[in-house]
Structure 1
Amino acid sequence: MGNAELMGDGELAPAGRERFLAGARAHGLDVELVERKAARSLQEAAQILGIPPSDIVKSLVVKHKDGTFLFALIPGDRQISWPKLRALVGVNKLSLPPADAAFEATGYERGTITPLGSSTAWPVYADAAMTGHRISMGAGEHGVSAFVDSDALIEALGATVADISDPE
């Protein structure tokens, strides 16, 4: 729809990129957007951007059994560790929701999800392996990546930092 997306109630919401940028501004974050050709995988996106897969951070939407959500930020060369995340959150069941539920929870399609500008500010858990350097992440729109300092992102989001991943 160009610069806006149709919401369920028929109202127009700002497009993903604009919501991402507004979220970054609201958190005082300096982000750099890079337009790139569409990628079929995280590895391909890393190659296009000229960075290692570990520098791309996946923003995963995770569902609690009570119906609430959280964001798990995981480096691209790692995978979420369900036992570690469950222990940290203090629950015995977490899951990845279907794409439509993730969209409903964040306002972003898979492959574009980011905590910045999410339709709901869910708690954020960041893997310790992503700290201390410049990362790339989804920017709310396909074909657009955002670069940001990982420590500034973690601080701005009030993220809990812990070991929540395992090597792929």
Structure 2
Amino acid sequence: MSEERAIAALERSGIDFTVTRHGRVSSLVEAAAARGVDPGAVIKTLVVRRGEDDYLFVLVPGGRAISWPKLRALLGVNRMSMPDAATAKDVTGYERGTITPFGATRAWPVVVDGTISGTVSIGAGAHGVAAMVDAADLVTALGAQVAEVTEPE
């Protein structure tokens, strides 16, 4: 059901995308190999809690992690956190490892790291399902804010 919701949202967005399907993977390198892309083109969708019932999606390329000081400065907040798995599912409709802004149960704001470019692979609502999209189209479709909010892992 989650995969269908994500793909329907991608279709409604009007951007060009190609769905890739593969078995479960246990690492970034495995995901990249299964999708036929470099690890840096695999986009992780992270859910971040700003406050009470206030979340956002942060899109992070493979091999990078959120820089909390950069993200806090961008958003003008002092504290942020990552919700536990149950809360992340409650606020997005997706379980960890499948989260995507496309088809989420709430349209939380999206921040896309400024290092993301070219063709990228973003999760599509189920384990082993992803969408290949152009990064600029992704930003436009999501109405995302672009800012450098990551650092190398």
TM-score (norm 1): 0.88
* In structure 2, distance between residues paired with 1:46 and 1:70: 25
In the aligned structure 2, how far is the partner of 1:67 from the partner of 1:95? Answer: 12
Corresponding position of 1:88: 74
> Is 1:31 aligned to 2:49, yes or no?
no
User: Aligned pair 1:152/2:137, yes or no?
Assistant: yes
In 1, the alpha carbon distance for the partners of 2:3 and 2:19 equals 9
How far has the Cα of 1:67 moved from its partner? 2.8
Instruction: Measure how far apart 1:159 and its partner are.
Output: 0.3
Partner of 1:4: none
With a CA cutoff of 8 Å and minimum separation of 6, indicate the structure with the bigger relative contact order: 2
Q: Deviations over 1:110-163 (max 9, x none)?
A: 1110001000000000000003x0000110011112111110010111100000
Unaligned runs of 5+ in 2: none
- Secondary structure of 1:95's aligned partner: coil
Instruction: Please give the TM-score of this superposition, normalised by the length of structure 2.
Output: 0.96
Is 1:55 paired with 2:27? no
Residue-by-residue CA offset, 1:19-44 (whole Å, 9 max, x unaligned): 11111122112211111121011221
Match of 2:2 in 1: 16
How far, CA to CA, are the matches of 2:14 and 2:109 in structure 1?
18
1:54 Cα deviation after fit: 0.2
Larger Rg: 1
Q: Is 1:73 equivalent to 2:69 in the alignment?
A: no
Deviation string, structure 1 residues 51-104 (Cα, Å, up to 9, x no partner): 211000100000112331000000011101110011111100111100000000
- Equivalenced residue count is 153
Deviation at 1:50, TM superposition (A): 2.5
Match of 2:29 in 1: 43
Say yes or no: does 1:98 pair with 2:84. Answer: yes
Q: Distance in 2 between matches of 1:125 and 1:151?
A: 13
The answer to whether structure 1 residue 138 and structure 2 residue 131 are counterparts is: no
| Gap regions ≥5 residues in structure 1 | 1-14
How much is the aligned-residue C-alpha RMSD, in angstroms?
Answer: 0.9
Give the Cα–Cα distance (whole angstroms) in 2 for the partners of residues 124 and 51 of structure 1: 23
- Deviant stretches of 4+, over 6 Å: none
